[in-house]
Amino acid sequence: MKSIKEVSVESKIVKRLQNYPKCLELVNYLINDAELQEMQDYANNVSIKRLGYNDHGPVHMRQVTANAIKMLNILNQSGIKTSLEAEEIGCFEDSMCAIIIAGLMHDLGMMIGRQGHEEMSVILAKPIIERAVMHIFPDDLHRRTIIKSVAIEAIIGHMSSRKIHSIEAGIILIADGCDMTKGRARIPLALNTTPKVGDIHKYSANAINRIGIHHGQNKPIRIDIEMSGDVGFFQIEEVLLTKIDSSPAKQFVELYAGVEGEEAKCYL
């Protein structure tokens, strides 16, 4: 059974896709896919209970998808073309379909382990991607090909360890970095109380109160981060900024972060 949080994020995703019928069809297919749900749940079990990491399961993958959809919509509303659009090989809805797939499957490799999980995510996701695009576009080989290709680029590039080139993959990279609020660290902090190397990631994520994604003033996308303490700056500087710096979409993002009650710092 899905958690209340999963259902809540799904509602946000569906609401943001009202103008894109093929994307809605794709999302409904994937969020109701029993195999994908089992894989997301097991990835989270390995991440939290076996490895002691933050949430990398169904809620995280849905939140990354919701973040990416919002960012891509902002770019579209600002007149910025996706890579598929700029190259005149696909439409905006194709780009949106690709980030939906990538968002919902990018961390499936955590089922196996942390090391190289991007590559494992591609291997595990590929059969689901292929049957999903066949279900949505049964008579359009071209659309199936470009959507699958961009989705795989976004999955394998979401850790900024591999060079990516499309705006779509760059948006997934940033959207993943933006899911770092205290909710992701709540369960790991409760389950794993013995100090160990790497705990800074959990404690810094636990200091992030809120992340807002809006239309920017000087650039199309503005990311606002509010923290309860200075330890949250670690998460921003070591995780999010690393991803933004590696993203082909960096030029479209402005970033502000600060402790609650204090003036926010402008990073970008």
Give the separation between CA 113 and CA 155, rounded to whole angstroms.
16
Give pLDDT tens digits for 122-173: 999 999 999 999 999 999 999 999 999 999 999 999 999 999 999 999 999 9
Q: Which pLDDT score, from 0 to 100, does residue 28 have? A: 98
The pLDDT-based confidence of 192 (bands split at 50, 70, 90) is low
Contact yes or no for 215/156 (Cβ under 8 A): no
Sheet holding 208-215, edge to edge: 208-215, 221-227, 253-259, 265-266
CA angle 50, 53, 55 (to 5 degrees): 105
Q: Which pLDDT score, from 0 to 100, does residue 1 have? A: 83
Q: Which pLDDT score, from 0 to 100, does residue 180 have? A: 87
Mean pLDDT estimate for the chain: 93
The pLDDT-based confidence of 267 (bands split at 50, 70, 90) is very high
Q: Which pLDDT score, from 0 to 100, does residue 194 have? A: 57
What is the widest separation between alpha-carbon atoms in the chain? 55
Considering only 57-61, 127-131, 236-240, 243-247, which range has the smallest mean pLDDT?
236-240
Residue 187 predicted with pLDDT over 60 = no
Interacting residues of 241 by C-beta distance below 8 A, sequence separation 6+: 255, 267
Q: Which pLDDT score, from 0 to 100, does residue 250 have? A: 98
The pLDDT-based confidence of 61 (bands split at 50, 70, 90) is very high
Give the separation between CA 27 and CA 100, rounded to whole angstroms.
7
Q: Which residue has the higher pLDDT, 238 or 17?
A: 17
Give the separation between CA 22 and CA 237, rounded to whole angstroms.
37
